[in-house]
Amino acid sequence: MKIRVINPNTTAGMTEKIGEAAARVAAPGTRIVASNPRSGPVSIESHFDEAISAVGVIEEVRAGELEHTDAYILACFGDPGLLAAREITRAPVIGIAEAAFHLATLISTRFSIVTTLGRTGIIAEHLLQSYGFAHHCRRVRAAEIPVLDLEDNGALALDRIIDECLRAKAEDNIGAIVLGCGGMADLTAQISEAVGLPIIEGVTAAVKLAESLVSLGLGTSKFGDLDFPRAKAFSGQFEFLSHGQ
């Protein structure tokens, strides 16, 4: 089984860490291929960043289709381009936010999210609503650290995330915490040990869900809105995305 883990930003160091975290939990026989787009934002911290990064996600899925990929994971907590990616492949495509929410509800009746910035916390709240998990989430909390601090100031970022998780444990009346950034994929064990609650991280959660779907022979439905896009030409800088002509 081949799973392509797509980091929608262009920071190669983060892609490497995400790939290593995915590989640590993958079953024997599962091959993890971690990749990121060649063009786009170095981190994703806004609706604007997500919109730009979605094109890169599509490029990465198209590349994966040429390599007979069995499943895809979008390793950004905003799940940018998720539905568009599902339209262009029969393979399962899993966003890490949706994966983490599902697993959190299987082990607790209430969870909180600890993410990077307050503005991305608002995006997480939108996802909770659209995925139907809002009533399970007690609070979305922000450690108020830029995403790239996870790369450049790792020790300080970890301390701030742990502090916020401890506040969530003390104040939110929850059973679990979801980490709200793909860049936290390598921190789960340290945070869990420090906090003493189940910590769900979306990259690793998505790997296990992807393996389950592939092993069950389940892929993206091609009936309804996730059917392949209608054939059409694209113009200008997006001409390379023309399909079915």
Whether residue 195 sits in one domain with residue 102: yes
Q: What is the pLDDT of residue 245?
A: 44
Q: Average pLDDT, stretch 189-206?
A: 96
191 and 142 in a single domain? The answer is: yes
Convert the pLDDT of each residue in 53-77 to its tens digit.
999 999 999 999 999 999 999 999 9
155: confidence class by pLDDT, cuts 50, 70, 90 = confident
Query: Do 182 and 209 share a domain, yes or no?
Result: no
Q: What is the CATH number for 20?
A: 3.40.50.12500
One domain for residues 102 and 194: yes
Residues 131 and 68 placed together within one structural domain of the fold: no
Q: Domain count of the chain?
A: 2
The answer to whether 185 and 73 have CB atoms below 8 angstroms apart is no
Q: Structure pTM?
A: 0.95
Q: Which domain holds residue 232?
A: 2-95+205-241
DSSP letter string over 55-90?
A: HHHHHHHHHHHHTT-SEEEE-STT-TTHHHHHHT-S
Residues 114 and 154 grouped into a single domain: yes
pLDDT greater at residue 155 or residue 154: 155
- On whether both 111 and 196 belong to a single domain, the answer is yes
